[in-house]
Each structure stands twice: as structure tokens, then as C-alpha cells.
Amino acid sequence: MRAHAMNRASDRAKGETQPLWRYVPLGDHHLPPEAVQDTARHWTVQFWSRLRGKEESSGSVDELEALPPEASERIAPSPDWRDAARALDGALAESNGVISTAPARPAVVVGPPYSGTTQVLVLWAEARGWTVKTGPSPKEVLAGGERWLEGLASGPLEPFVLPRLERCFLRHHHGLSLMRGLVDWLLASERACLIGCDSWAWAYLSTALGIDRLAPVLTLEAFDGERLARWFAQLSPGFDQGGLEFRERKSGRPILRSAVSDGALGSENAPGAPRREQGELSDFLERLAARSRGIPGVALAIWRHALRLGPDREQAGPNRSAEASLGRRTVWVEPWAELELPEIPGSVCRSDILVLHALLLHNGLESERLRDLVPVYGPDVFEVLRRLEAARLVASIDGRWRVTALGYPAVRRCLASEGYLVDSL
């Protein structure tokens, strides 16, 4: 832990660029600093929302200015996580050699929602030739999971990766037996294995079962504004060649800096914007890093939500492809103070909060399973989900309801303020 902190301080002292992806011991994780005005703004919004007792508006973004989905996917595509998998490989080799020595001990990676933990572990397993183990079904979990655990323990002595430990339990009076047996087996076994777990499930299992004694834990270092700038530039093809520039809509200040961004792309300005101050970067990304808690997937979702086409979108013509219409031009970014993100509705009730908490503890649930886990009358669960969906706080993805990436910061803050168990990331 001390070694990582000393290395980070040494790198900064030397002025060296931090690696984009870096895994660190859980105790070395630090959140990006939050601007004072953003904290004040959040509590002001919550105060007036609760005072009025009304739902927050969910559709205030001018759709005429929003990027079409194909353009959004092109200039801010989903990451493939391969660089993160390589960074994890280096961190595991550096930590204490648990992966390569015998007798082996488990190694654990914990990540918050939308941090790509599962994808990274699967890519790491493919590169190493390790077997990826899927978790048991919810019915197996509630039945004790003995057959699933026997299959895991009696199989070939090959190393394996279990990327979704959160699928091995349910917060139910019959939902922890399998996890108890699994932890005991992992502590006694000499099988090399790499375990991935969502940070909310890890927090719950640490409290309920003391699972944090299993092994030292690594986690992805939070992205600050500087890292987000480099990552978004990498994601956007042609940005460094001057094909695109990103500027704040009202001030015209650049969001990202490239080698050719200043002075090379003509004189396009947002309506009513002052003359651009070349080289004066907006603080948008620092505030984005704080709001997203440095979680890449959450930051990317907000970034996409903030992107706008400029006033000459219509000049591009409705039949031009998104790629052509985005060639050598400005993409405007909504000013942070005017960016409308999902907030907890003023009319939120205890049932809403219970559902949100259950979804985060399990990294998403099917609606039928949700009815078994929260003390809410069955048909009312669907009403709660629809209400939260309308507020853009939850969505159904591949049959499982999850807290959305856009809504995650507001949901986490609400649960923490209400005294619910939250993760440490």
C-alpha cells in the first residue's frame, strides 16, 4: 500500500504522466476532489425537490441539439478494456506474486458499477488461458448451491477466473449458505484463481461474512480530469489529427487539448459565445471526474449525454452520414452548470430506496427475483421500477434491472444520506 502511494508521489514529483489504467490496493483508492459549488448545487436541488414534492424533470435536453446515437457511438465509443486488462496483469504480478506461486492463493479485484471489472477479468483470463467460471443460478443459490460448489471443487486443477462473485449470493435468509461454503473452500484450496466482485456486494459480504479476509484486494484507480481528457481523446478517432474539437457551448473554451486544436480549425463559435480564449481549458472534466467518482463507465455516460451538435448541424443535411457530418468540426459540450442529470425525485419513498439498494447490492436483478428480496408487495415492485425508470435512475438490460450509469451518482448519494450500507469506492 505504501509502495503504491510512494510510487504515485514520486511520479508526480518527476512530472511523469500517470498510466491511464492502473490497479492499486483497495486502501490506496482515492476519489477525485469535488468542487464546492457542485456539492452546494446538489443539496439545493434536493431541498427544492423535496419541498415541492414533485418529480424531477427527465427530458429537458433539447433533442434537436443532442447527438444522434450513431454519432455519439462514433466519437465516444464503448471501451474494449484490453489496456485495462494489461494493466491488471502488471498489477497482479507486482502485488505479491499470488498468481504464479504455489501453493496458490486467491487474488481479488473489486470494482464499482460500470468500472468494467467483469470485462477486464474475462479478457485477462483469455490472455492467460485460464478457465472462466460462471456463477450459479438464483435457484441454485437459494437451494444452497452444493452441486455448483462440488463442480467447482472437483474439476480439473486448472486455474480459473470467477468474474462475478456477486452472483453467488442473494440477500435472503437462504441466500448466504453457498457463499459461506465457497469462502471456506477458497481459503483451504491451493487452486490458483482470480475473483472479481462488484464493490457493493463486497461491502455487504464483508459486513455479513467477513469476506475481506479472503485475500488482498486490487481495484482500478479513479480517473481524475487529466485521465479523462486522455481517455476521451483516445476514444475519439482523429481527434489528435484535428478532425474534431470539443468546446464548451457557451464559453467556447476547449475541453480537450490536442496538438492541432488551437488555431487550426477555423473560427466556428457557439451562438452568443465570446471570442475564444485559446488555450484556456474548461474545468468540465474535473467536475465530471468528481461527479462520476472517477468511474470510467459513469464518466463516459455523462460525457455522451453532454455532447451536442453545433448550429450548423442543419447545413450538413439530413442525408449526410454521421461520420461525414462530424468531419473536421466542433462538437459542443453542454456547460456543467446547465447539464441536467437524473436526480432522486422529491416524491421518493421507502419502497423506491429499498429497490435501489437491492439492485446495487446484487449488481442488478431480474424483476421476479427482486420481489423475493425486498419487503414490497409484489405488484408494487413493478410500479416502483416503472417510476424509477421514468426518472432515468434504473433500466432493464438483458432482462436484469440495473441502476443506470447516469443515475448512479445520485442514487449512491441518496443511499449514503439515508444511512444505508454503501460501497467504499
The pLDDT score that the predictor gives to residue 20 is 94
pLDDT at 252: 85
Segment 312-353, tens digit of pLDDT: 544 444 444 444 555 567 888 999 999 999 999 988 899 999
The values of phi and psi at residue 57, to 5°, are -65, 140
Grid cell listed for 101: 506461486
Helices in 30-96 by DSSP H: which ranges?
A: 36-52, 69-75, 82-95
Q: What is the pLDDT of residue 279?
A: 59
Record the cell numbers describing residue 326, joined without a space: 462530424
Measured between alpha carbons, how far is 207 from 205 in angstroms, rounded to an integer?
A: 5
Instruction: Give the pLDDT score at 106.
Output: 86
The segments of the chain whose pLDDT lies below 70 read: 1-16, 35-65, 96-104, 238, 240-242, 258-279, 310-328, 378
**DSSP of 31-46, one letter per residue?**
PPPPPHHHHHHHHHHH
Q: Give residue 129's region: left, alpha or beta (phi > 0; psi -120 to 50).
A: left
With 0-12 / 13-18 / 19 or more C-beta atoms within 10 angstroms meaning exposed / middle / buried, residue 250 is middle
Is residue 236 within 8 A of residue 244, CB to CB? The reply is: yes
Query: CA torsion 99→101→102→107, rounded to 10°?
Result: -30
Q: What is the pLDDT of residue 347?
A: 86
Question: pTM for the whole thing?
Answer: 0.84
* Backbone dihedral angles phi then psi of residue 16, each to the nearest 5 degrees: -80, 150
Average pLDDT, the chain: 83
